[in-house]
Structure 1
Amino acid sequence: MEPTDTRTAILEVAARLYADLGYSAVSMRDVAKEIGVTPANLYHHFKGKEDLIRETLAHVFAQKTAPLADIFTRTAASSGQLEVFVDFFLRLLLEDRVFFRLLVRELLDGGGSRLRELAHSVLESPFSLVSSLADQQGSEDQRFLTTVSMIGIILGHVQLAALLPYLPGGRPDYGDPSILGQHISAVLRRAFHDAEKEK
């Protein structure tokens, strides 16, 4: 295995372990054992556990959000970038267990410095792309909060998906990405339309 292949393999294994077990439950030795390298080899690639966590998150989030720029380039704003984003993010959260769990885990357990670094080094670009969907006539504060609301609505629906069939009026198909995507897009379009009317 080439050094870069080893490094990537370590990041992939660490991502799975952190997603399934949490940061505190996974030691450097656990990662080394799972990947089949010595702890010394692991420390050759990463300074320590915090470095491995930070690099793992950057690897997963950068890799999974990278297609968004290409998707936005291929989709004209007038022909449904909002719907394309909602569908992309919903499917990513619903179908990629590691990405979803790491995102939620980081939101719950990530320290300020790690979250700040992740926001600046990896998430700034996709956040800016999504922000371009928000009202461009509004203030910078309004655009920022609208972007957060869009992401929050999608994330909230995914977090509640397992509970939906058991709530009054809930149905199992409410967790289907197509149904959820149509609903969320319609809600966001109405919100944008109402905001336009209020001006």
Structure 2
Amino acid sequence: MMRVSQKNETRGNILTASVRLFARYGYDGVSMRQLAAEVGVQPAALYYYFPDKQKLYLAVMEFALRDGTTEATAMLHEAKPPLVRLKNFCITMINTLSANPDLVQLLQRERLTDDQNRTELLYEEVFSKPFEALVETVKEMEPNQDPLLMAISVVGLINFYLELKPVRRFMPGWRPEHEWPETLSLHVARLLKKIFSKQEASRRGGVMELW
């Protein structure tokens, strides 16, 4: 019988290879046979770990995002001012995505899919916890605004910077430090602080300095 450590290693190898292939070719462009060949196992062995491609794909997304989304969700639940929690969330997600270009490409492909059933499963299994925590955080900060649209705007702000990576260097004003995750994190944090602090000041008559 296969040892637990060996089984875990094989499963990890399958997931790692799948992230790369799904990012490069998309869900419909990758077959289970192709994945098996990439990992060096028989196709039947692949089904030992994952009963079908959709289950494998969900596991791949959870595997690729697990550390970042877990940390980001925990930060949004910390006992700190909501603006500070939002800043930490953005920094975590930018660092996670900057370190994983395959993951950025994988998310780009997923946004273009027309498979509503798979998208719904993906949201429920992978994205729901961090996103719902983000919605609650922005609701604290902007109770008079639509929290869903505000949360989507925050996510869009992060994603857009990263998706522009291939063309940023050709834009006027580009500097090498624009490629550093720290630069992007600080910029997004300052931008969000400016937006939300202005709204807070209008309600309380002063500006909060949180960082």
Q: Give the TM interval when normalised to the shorter protein.
A: 0.7 to 0.9
Which residue does the alignment assign to 2:182?
178
Which residue does the alignment assign to 1:91?
95
Q: What code does the residue aligned with 1:168 have? A: P
Structure 1 ranges of 4+ moved more than 6 A: none
Cα distance in 2 for partners of 1:39, 1:72 equals 41
If the length of structure 2 is used for normalisation, what is the TM-score?
A: 0.80
Which residue does the alignment assign to 2:62?
58
- CA positional deviation for 1:18: 1.0
Which residue does the alignment assign to 2:39?
35
Uncovered stretches (5+) of structure 2, i.e. residues with no partner: 204-211
Is structure 2 residue 109 aligned with structure 1 residue 105? yes
Deviations 1:79-108 (Å, cap 9, x if unpaired)? 822221121111111111232121111112
Cα distance in 2 for partners of 1:78, 1:109 equals 33
Aligned pair count?
198
Cα distance in 1 for partners of 2:181, 2:79 equals 20
Please, which moves more after superposition, 35-44 or 142-151? 35-44
- CA positional deviation for 1:75: 6.8
The sequence identity of aligned pairs, in percent, is 27
The answer to whether the 8 Å contact 1:92/1:100 transfers is no
The answer to whether the 8 Å contact 1:164/1:171 transfers is no
Q: 146, 155, 161: which one pairs with 2:159?
A: 155
Which residue does the alignment assign to 1:165?
169
Which residue does the alignment assign to 2:123?
119
**RMSD across aligned positions (CA):** 2.5
Uncovered stretches (5+) of structure 1, i.e. residues with no partner: none
- CA positional deviation for 1:197: 5.1
Q: What code does the residue aligned with 2:103 have? A: F
Cα distance in 1 for partners of 2:174, 2:12 equals 41
Is structure 2 residue 138 aligned with structure 1 residue 138? no
